[in-house]
Amino acid sequence: MNLTIFDYGAGNLHSLIKTLERPGICVQVERDPAVAVTTDALVLPGVGAFPAATTALGEQGVALMRDAILGGLPTLGICLGMQLLFDASDEGGGSGLQIIAGRVNRLVAARVPQIGWNQLEPGVNRDPLLDASELGIAYFANSFVCRPSDPSVVSAWSTHEQDRFPAMVRVGRCTGVQFHPEKSSTAGVSFMHAWLREVHP
């Protein structure tokens, strides 16, 4: 299986690459969105800011990636990558991929960013990836969170101070997580491997 990580050009992807590398899976990093979507599975990593990411995509790249994901390309968005799945962000940067209706807002809390471990609370539609990995606590590093128009897309929630926000969303073959599974110890790695098994049995 060919798996592509789209690179916004904003950070070190080493830990993510190491987590995804497995026998039978070829992991590549790509900065051209037109090339990035010609793959078996796509990862939108959690490094950088919304405006820089949408600039790296460009209008044409946003359209190409949106069409590919809506067309069934298995996609995992991590932290910023999850936020890009939404319509737009208060951080700026124009339109997101518009896969999930809603907006990205700043955390309503005294301590921002949220950095560290936080509990996951299963949503009404509990995701089998959480059961497969037994992931109940995960590592977060974020100042912004997603506010979906339809809460039924939320597979898990988390709360920072008094602000409850989606920790995981799922629409079709597209999954978004606000946490960093690649930094969430053994259970986080198990989550990533469960996702790989799902997209490439």
Q: In what order do the strands lie in the sheet with 26-30?
A: 26-30, 2-6, 41-44, 75-78, 174-177, 163-171, 154-160, 121-122
Rounded to the nearest integer, the mean pLDDT of the chain is: 95
43 close to 4: Cβ distance less than 8 angstroms: yes
**Residue 180 falls in the annotated catalytic set:** yes
**Residue 79 falls in the annotated catalytic set:** yes
Average pLDDT over residues 126-143: 92
CB atoms within 10 A of CB 174: 23
Query: Is residue 11 pLDDT above 80, yes or no?
Result: no
Rg for the chain, CA atoms, rounded: 15
CATH architecture for residues 2-199: 3-Layer(aba) Sandwich (3.40)
Average pLDDT over residues 29-49: 95
Among the options 26, 182, 193, 198, which is catalytic? Answer: 182
Query: Is residue 53 pLDDT above 90, yes or no?
Result: yes
pLDDT at 199: 93
Among the options 79, 146, 160, 174, which is catalytic? Answer: 79
**Residue 193 falls in the annotated catalytic set:** no
pLDDT at 32: 96
For residue range 164-190, what is the model confidence (pLDDT) as tens digits?
A: 999 999 999 999 999 999 999 999 999
Query: Is residue 12 pLDDT above 90, yes or no?
Result: no
pLDDT more than 70, % of the chain: 100
For residue range 92-129, what is the model confidence (pLDDT) as tens digits?
A: 988 999 999 999 999 999 999 999 999 999 888 888 99
Among the options 91, 146, 174, 180, which is catalytic? Answer: 180
> What CA–CA distance (Å, rounded) separates 89 from 145?
9
